[in-house]
Structure 1
Amino acid sequence: MFYLITKKTNMKIYEKIREYSKSKGETMKEIADAYGVTPQSIQLYFSGKNAMPLNFLVWYIEKHPDLDLYALFNKNLQSIVSEPKPSYSKKSKKQDVIDRIVEILEKEL
């Protein structure tokens, strides 16, 4: 089981995803090629200089089903990796991910 653990509290979403990506050994070029943008775009998302588009966030979560959406949006939680899911679980569909994001945002905001 993998957990993202940092000493910093109140991490922003882009910081959590950046740290998670680093821990997985992903390069910005690999992410950019897979998503269809330039590495510079990914660098701007991961630095917080440009807002991370919802489409990118949904795509990234689809590619990393171990990410816990609630923890991702909760400023007080640093671990964004959920407990391992059973192997029989279905792959998340884009609309399911969006619906879960909206549900969490409505609850937290």
Structure 2
Amino acid sequence: MATHLGRHCLRFGVGLVLAALTTVVVQNVPPTQTAVMTGVNPNIRAIGSGSGVALMTAIITRVGESGSIDSPATMQSYIVGFLVMACIGLAATVVMMAGRRQVSHVAESANAVEPIPREAITD
């Protein structure tokens, strides 16, 4: 029963995140790049989903034992798999936030440069 409830909560959460993700991506790119990001976003999601499924399957089959899905070893393998995925997600968030800070510092330094007056530009 608990595993069924967990699966439904996971599906609900993924559905909410994926619906909002497209909106967030489109709002954070320039209008000239909206079409490109609208196409790249599903491709990146597909690659991430495929990699995640492959990794989770490898963990479950390596840690768990063949047999019933309700066996303690299989449940332990799911716990290990979800902990590994949570660590990967946390690491990805840290890397993304660090990259975002670098980009904002570059943008701030670019805005700090004063424009060249028109009089100083010669043809």
* TM-score interval, smaller chain: under 0.3
Q: Which has the larger radius of gyration?
A: 2
Greater fraction of residues in helix: 2
Scaled by the length of structure 1, the TM-score of the pair is 0.26
Which structure has more relative contact order (CA 8 Å, sep 6+)? It is 1
